[in-house]
Amino acid sequence: MAGRRDWTRETLAAGVRDGDRRALARAITLVENGEALAYDVVRDLYPETGRAYAVGLTGPPGVGKSSLISALLRHVRADDTQVGVISVDPSSPFSQGALLGDRIRLSDHFLDPGVFIRSMGTRGHLGGLAEATLQALLVLDAAGKELVFLETVGTGQSEVEVIGIADTVLLVLMPGSGDSVQALKAGIMEIPDVIAINKMDHPAAKTMLNEVRSILALDHDRDWRPPIVLTDATRGENVPELWGKIAEHRAYLEQSGELDARRRKNLAGEVFAVASARAKQHIERAVQDDPELRRVLDDVQQRRLDPLTAVREILEKVFKVGDNGAA
């Protein structure tokens, strides 16, 4: 069949190492589908990873995350940095022609051999989104991408897992992102490393800047004070400045020895996130497939059995674990 190849573990790993686009595309599709071949290939490539720098972008839908990535790409490609992009954003997917419904043409980036862009679906991965993103990042890393942008919407749990592997976290806001500002203020949202307030031409941009600034000012005792940059992604305004702040954060992490510590923590976090997601699926399936366990749930519903006793019975049966966690 034209355009198709039967990849083996060896040829696919070799293709990824060479940065071959078709190998990359195939490997990430396999990752997305949770195929065994993907696990084998990532297992083979893993010792060669750890060179890519991962920048995570998060923030509410529509603030301009994808547009900022596009603008940053233009900026960093000027010195031929090899870049990968993984976008987990069903609301504004990167697509071949353009950022959907948009003036920013991405076609240049799609044609640029130094850039590999991939939009990922959010549908059921066994280990959740964290698993698919982590694996895709490792594939891009092994392919020699020096810089990888990870885009994800919002601040929910699965998004936190997606961004959890990033070395630098960039929160993107725009005038009107009041909920995110409240979440920052209340401590619900973790303080990011860099903040961009995009759509700076909006009259309320300065107000938002002051508001965010005053929230960050409450947090005295951190070595790294997150810089806030006003940007306009569509016109590319302040994009070099934003990139400068990301680079400063990276330099800070590297010079302070924090980068190693953060990566260690991030990787452990990813392992737990993926393990938890898999364990959850395993329990749900086991209960579904086992009439006896389904009856335990019925008993809870009928108030014949209390919830924590049901938990104990399910864990005992599914994982053969005892009751040492309960008080």
Element (H, E) at 3: none
Partner from ligand GDP, Mg ion, none contacting 160, C-beta within 5 to 8 A by type: none
| CB nearer ligand GDP, residue 63 or residue 115 | 63
Supply the angle between the helices 258-289 and 307-319 in degrees, to the nearest 10.
100
Q: Which residue is nearest to ligand GDP (CB)?
A: 64
61 belongs to the binding site for ligand GDP (CB under 6 A) = yes
Tokens of 197: 């307030």
Query: Quick one: which H or E segment has residue 230?
Result: strand 228-230
d(CA 18, CA 12): 10
Closer CB to Mg ion, residue 42 or residue 148? 148
* 244 part of the interface to ligand GDP, by CB under 6 A: no
List CB contacts of 196: < 8 A, sequence separation 6 or more.
68, 170, 171, 172, 173, 228, 229, 230, 231, 242
167 contact, one of Mg ion, ligand GDP, none, CB 5-8 Å limit per kind: none
Least distance in angstroms from the C-beta of 177 to ligand GDP: 10
Interface with ligand GDP, residue 84, by CB under 6 A: no
How many residues lie near ligand GDP (CB under 6 A)?
Answer: 19
Contact status: 180 vs ligand GDP (CB under 6 A): no
Residue 97 or 187: the one with the smaller Cβ distance to ligand GDP is 97
C-alpha to C-alpha distance for 36 and 137, rounded to whole angstroms: 17
Q: How far is the CB of 235 from ligand GDP (least distance, A)?
A: 7
Burial degree of 29 (CB within 10 A; 0-12, 13-18, 19+): middle
Residue 311 CB contacts under 8 Å (≥ 6 apart), including other chains: none
**Distance from CA of residue 52 to its chain's centroid?**
14
**Residues of this chain, 62-101, that bind Mg ion according to CB under 5 A:** 65-66, 89, 92
Burial of 124 (0-12, 13-18, 19+ CB in 10 A): exposed
Please, what is the minimum distance in Å from the beta carbon of residue 223 to Mg ion? 31
Out of 24, 30, 31, 89, the only residue in the binding site for ligand GDP (CB under 6 A) is: 89
Tell me the one-letter amino acid at 133: T
Strand partners, 153: 59
- Measured from the CB of residue 66, what is the shortest distance to Mg ion in angstroms? 3
Which residues bind to Mg ion, rule: CB under 5 A? 65-66, 89, 92
Which residues bind to ligand GDP, rule: CB under 6 A? 61-67, 89, 91-92, 99, 102-103, 198-199, 201, 232-234
